[in-house]
Amino acid sequence: MTYSVYRRTVMELFLVVFVSAMFSLIGCSQTAKAAEIPVSEGKSAVASSVTGATYSANQAIDRFIQTKWAAGSLQLPQWLTVDLAQNVHVKRIETVFEHVDSFYQYTIETSTDGMNWSSFADKSTNMELNFPYYSDTGDSLARFVRIQVLGVGTPGDGASIYDFRVYTTNEPLLLLSLNDSCV
């Protein structure tokens, strides 16, 4: 994980706590909502190759930005497949690659049986940086979700993913919503 991603995450958390405290002080009521949990969290993942146990495929779906999947070689393409354990409507996928200062070219495919695949997102010609992450939307019934890394913008970098998050909603849920009533 790069320092800038970590710093931004800490600052966002601080901002949420600060705003909550300020609204409490001035007497506005607030309603907290639970954070959105990806359907991929806690499921199993496999990959085309891994650098070692420290960088296994499951490290990409644990929601810990300090862990990652790293392919065992720089040769591309490399792939990561998540088994969601049951069919769900996949609507959004967020991918946090290791190098935020580089672009990644990839495809994301979905499948109900792990053999027949349909395209969910095609970024095979992408040249945009991935800061803070790539977000792809669609609507696909799937049990399996596979990302294939086809290209990396910086020579010498390989396929490496900090977080691969699969969601059943199109838009991220707000961590905190405030209603209009103030005392």
Q: For residue 119, what is the domain's CATH number?
A: 2.60.120.260
- Regarding whether 132 and 55 lie in a shared domain, the answer is yes
Rounded to whole angstroms, how far apart are CA atoms 165 and 135?
9
Q: Which of 7-21, 77-91, 121-135 has the highest mean pLDDT?
A: 77-91
Statement to judge: residues 25 and 92 lie in one domain: no
**Tell me, what's the pLDDT at 52?**
86
**Are 91 and 167 found together in one domain?**
yes
Q: What is the mean pLDDT of residues 101-116?
A: 96
State how many domains the chain has.
2
Do 61 and 145 share a domain, yes or no?
A: yes
State the pTM of this model: 0.76
Give the DSSP letter of residue 58: G
State which residues form the domain around 44: 36-171
Does residue 179 lie within any of the structural domains? no
Q: Which of 100, 92, 110, 108 is nearest to 152 (CA)?
A: 100
Same domain, 69 and 154: yes
For the segment 16-49, what is each residue's pLDDT rounded down to a tens digit? 455 455 445 444 444 444 568 999 999 999 999 9
Looking at the structure, tell me whether residues 110 and 135 fall in a common domain: yes
Task: Check whether 65 has a pLDDT greater than 50.
Answer: yes
